[in-house]
């Protein structure tokens, strides 16, 4: 067992280990700890406390004078379980009185756990699949546009163009999980209606790298990121849109940082483009008398700061009444589908999503909208499990449904 | 041996321990990555960070930094939004401590520098800071100590009596309570005993707790002078020990949290200025 590699953390992150006062505010807001109250190692304050202890025990003055004290294997294992049972929703950062940027800290901790070899074994399979199949499902990557087969007519932008103004980055979940096919299907219909010059990359689109980045295996994703960037550059696009908030966040924030260069094009979430198209009157909509509620995806809201664009799109549909859930915007509850937790603990994901769908039901809305295929999958699963009469849709699906 | 000399004999090495601890902890932080300093030594990273901090302070960003420091580090806005009681407890502890620290600093400056070096002791508004019994100085010291005491009592109530489920009280918290509690307790006793041993200037009638209590026990037949020296030394040493332990205790959050909260608030402000929304990692 080796020592923590402190170069995996930033100066600010190491300082924040001493800034945590264990006030416990984060424990009240942690969606996974709420469902797993016996696993104290999940709580942000315990994760910070553990790493602080490991670091001090091996790098502190006493360690230098009397030799390092490695952590007990069971302590390291407990820390690993707590760190990998986190959905990385970032809610703790919003309420932390010390303003510790927790999400990035958890990812740094995961990177160190991977280096020390103390992480769920299933992540090795994820890395292997990612590197060989270039997607997270292990399907043949040439089938990335399989979702388009059900369209009445396959648009030119879907696999038939090589250059366009806009690249529509579909993402792995929408490309390979049938429950999510309707998101790209509806997205391209809206783009067609608005006359957007777009294309999809087909087999040239590889996984954006997000699952590996948050697993703490980001180093393995660098080549893939480079491949994707080159693929987009070849199209001459000025814009890249992503319907998946995780892809969006990775493109917008991680690509320039990891690759060390500006992208050379603008990155937008699909809802941002939709808001723009609707404001320009390029997508006329029919009225709909319906009460809907909106779930902020963690990677779009808290992590990327996009809260209003999806709401603007929803409000642009005549007759629709938008009601907020008990927790919304930066305080929004996680759906449970983030942080790769699904790979390690499916029951935990189900418990978190049940709580969120309960909040949606409490609003009295008959439609729960989101702007993320993973949130849609998770919440629709919870609605089915709980036998709730609430439709779970992506914002773009509702827009396509109401197109005049 | 003079009691003050004795104090310095113990205090000086303890301050060396404090500085070593500070270097140790900062050294650990400096093992982390610093933008623009890949592979650099700790010293080099420190210089780069110091340069960045100074450039930011002496730039047009200064108002943003000042605002972030005041609202997040000093006022603790997030705590205010979360719980007024917790905020009040923290505010009393922090600001009581800051007030007493400023008064100690002023006392040292006015006595050791302005009086002894520059012979300005005849100026009343200089002399008042090192005369503990001056009504204004006595009042301010009393306010600071009372704020800290009330703040600590709130803290003890939450952590040890109410035992709220969200708290994970551990040895670090207990050490902080014991350390602060002993300093405050000996501080009050030292003041009461000192007032019975001698007055230093005008009557400290504005010391609204210490002075009445000192009058209450004034009739006791005790060796006030010897007790005053003993408690002065004890209180001073306890304070020195707690200061020496700061880098390895929860007290370190006073430095780390202030810096983290300020830096994060400035980074978020920049995101907003650039047209984004807060809570995006900078």
The three-class DSSP label of residue B195 is helix
Q: Do A19 and B173 touch (CB under 8 A)?
A: no
The three-class DSSP label of residue B280 is coil
Burial of B95 (0-12, 13-18, 19+ CB in 10 A): middle
> In this predicted model, what pLDDT tens digit does every residue of A385-401 receive, in sequence order?
999 999 999 999 999 99
Chain A neighbors of B246, CB-CB under 8 A: none
**Residue B135 confidence (pLDDT):** 87
Using N-to-C axis directions, what is the helix angle for B224-245 and B3-29, rounded to 10°?
Answer: 10
The mean per-residue pLDDT over the stretch B183-197 comes to 94
Q: Which residue intervals of B210-252 are DSSP H helices?
A: 210-216, 224-245
Chain B neighbors of A6, CB-CB under 8 A: 28, 31-32
Distance from CA of B280 to the nearest CA of A (A): 5
Between CA A89 and CA A288 the distance in angstroms is 32
pTM: 0.92
ipTM of the complex: 0.90
Average pLDDT, chain B: 90
Please check whether residue A87 is in contact with residue A352, taking contact to mean a CB–CB distance below 8 angstroms.
yes
**Residue B199 confidence (pLDDT):** 63
Comparing CA positions, the residue from A215, A144, A131 lying closest to residue A176 is A144
**Residue A344 confidence (pLDDT):** 79
The mean per-residue pLDDT over the stretch A261-276 comes to 97
Q: Where residue B36 falls among pLDDT bands split at 50, 70, 90? A: confident
In B163-188, which positions are buried (b, 16+ CB within 10 angstroms) versus exposed (e)? eeeebbeeebbebbbebbebbbebbb
Using N-to-C axis directions, what is the helix angle for A44-59 and B3-29, rounded to 10°?
Answer: 110
- Does residue A315 register a pLDDT over 50? yes
Q: Where residue B247 falls among pLDDT bands split at 50, 70, 90? A: very high
- Does residue B143 register a pLDDT over 50? yes
Between CA A355 and CA A382 the distance in angstroms is 9
Q: Do A7 and B29 touch (CB under 8 A)?
A: no
The beta-carbon neighbor of B168 closest among A45, A98, A308 is A45
Helix, strand, coil in percent for chain B, rounding step 5: 75, 0, 25
Q: Do B32 and A305 touch (CB under 8 A)?
A: no
Distance from CA of B169 to the nearest CA of A (A): 8
Residues above pLDDT 90, as percent of chain B:
70
Long-range contacts at B76-79 (CB < 8 A, ≥ 24 apart): B76/A97, B76/B261, B78/A95, B78/A96, B78/A97, B78/A99, B79/A97
Give how far Cα B3 sits from Cα of A16, A123, B231, Å.
Answer: 41, 65, 10
Between CA B265 and CA A274 the distance in angstroms is 31
Distance from CA of A304 to the nearest CA of B (A): 5
Please check whether residue A292 is in contact with residue A254, taking contact to mean a CB–CB distance below 8 angstroms.
no
- Does residue B117 register a pLDDT over 60? yes
């Amino acid at each position: 067992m080796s020592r923590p590699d402190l170069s995996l953390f930033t100066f600010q992150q190491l300082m924040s280990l001493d800034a945590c006062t264990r006030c416990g505010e984060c424990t009240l807001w942690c969606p996974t700890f709420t469902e797993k109250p016996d696993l104290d190692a999940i709580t942000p304050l315990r994760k910070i406390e553990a790493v602080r202890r490991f670091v001090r025990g091996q790098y502190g003055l006493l360690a230098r004078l009397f030799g390092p004290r490695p952590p007990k294997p069971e302590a390291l294992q407990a820390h690993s379980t707590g760190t990998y049972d986190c959905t990385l929703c970032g809610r703790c950062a919003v309420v932390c009185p010390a303003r510790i940027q927790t999400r990035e800290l958890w990812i740094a901790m995961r990177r160190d756990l991977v280096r020390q070899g103390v992480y769920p074994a299933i992540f090795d399979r994820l890395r292997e699949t990612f590197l060989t199949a270039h997607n997270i499902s292990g399907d043949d990557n040439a089938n990335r546009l399989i979702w388009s087969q059900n369209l009445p007519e396959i648009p030119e932008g879907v696999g038939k163009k090589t250059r366009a103004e806009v690249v529509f980055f579909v993402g792995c979940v929408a490309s390979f999980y049938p429950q999510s096919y309707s998101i790209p299907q509806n997205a391209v219909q809206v783009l067609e209606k608005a006359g957007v010059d777009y294309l999809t990359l087909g087999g040239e689109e590889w996984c954006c790298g997000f699952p590996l980045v948050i697993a703490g295996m980001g180093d393995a994703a660098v080549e893939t990121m480079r491949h994707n960037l080159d693929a987009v550059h070849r199209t001459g696009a000025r814009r890249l849109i992503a319907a998946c908030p995780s892809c969006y966040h990775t493109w917008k924030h991680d690509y320039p940082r990891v690759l060390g260069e500006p992208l050379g094009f603008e990155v937008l979430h699909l809802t941002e483009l939709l808001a723009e198209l609707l404001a320009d009157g390029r997508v006329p909509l029919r009225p709909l008398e319906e009460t809907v509620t909106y779930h902020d995806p963690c990677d779009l809201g808290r992590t990327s700061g996009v809260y209003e664009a999806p709401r603007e799109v929803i409000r642009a549909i005549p007759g629709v009444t938008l009601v907020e859930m008990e927790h919304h915007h930066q305080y929004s509850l996680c759906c449970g589908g983030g942080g790769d937790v699904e790979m390690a603990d499916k029951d935990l994901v189900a418990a978190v999503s049940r709580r969120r769908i309960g909040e949606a039901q409490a609003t009295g809305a008959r439609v729960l909208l989101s702007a993320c295929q993973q949130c849609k999958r998770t919440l629709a699963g919870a609605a089915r499990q709980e036998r709730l009469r609430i439709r779970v849709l992506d914002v773009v699906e509702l827009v396509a449904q109401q197109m005049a | 041996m003079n009691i003050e000399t004795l104090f310095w004999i113990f205090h000086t090495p303890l301050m060396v321990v404090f500085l070593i601890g500070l270097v140790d902890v900062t050294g650990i932080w400096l093992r982390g990555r610093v933008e623009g300093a890949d592979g650099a030594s700790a010293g080099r990273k420190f210089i780069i960070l110091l340069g960045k901090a100074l450039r930011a302070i002496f730039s047009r960003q200064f108002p943003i930094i000042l605002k972030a420091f005041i609202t997040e580090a000093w006022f603790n806005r997030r705590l205010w939004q979360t719980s007024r009681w917790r905020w009040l407890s923290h505010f009393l502890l922090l600001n009581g401590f800051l007030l007493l620290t400023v008064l100690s600093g002023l006392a040292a400056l006015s006595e050791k520098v302005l009086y002894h070096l520059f012979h300005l002791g005849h100026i009343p508004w200089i002399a008042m800071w090192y005369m503990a019994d001056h009504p204004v100085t006595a009042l301010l010291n009393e306010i600071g100590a009372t704020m800290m005491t009330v703040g600590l009592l709130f803290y003890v109530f939450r952590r040890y009596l109410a035992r709220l489920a969200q708290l994970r009280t551990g040895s670090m918290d207990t050490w902080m309570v014991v350390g602060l509690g002993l300093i405050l307790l000996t501080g009050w006793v030292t003041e009461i005993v000192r007032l019975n041993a001698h007055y230093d200037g005008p009557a400290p009638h504005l010391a609204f707790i210490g002075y009445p209590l000192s009058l209450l026990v004034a009739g006791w037949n005790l060796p006030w002078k010897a007790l005053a020296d003993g408690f002065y030394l004890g209180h001073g040493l306890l304070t020195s020990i707690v200061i020496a332990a700061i880098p390895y205790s929860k007290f370190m959050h006073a430095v780390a949290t202030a810096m983290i909260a300020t830096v994060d608030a400035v980074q978020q402000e920049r995101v907003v200025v650039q047209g984004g929304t807060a809570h995006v990692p900078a």
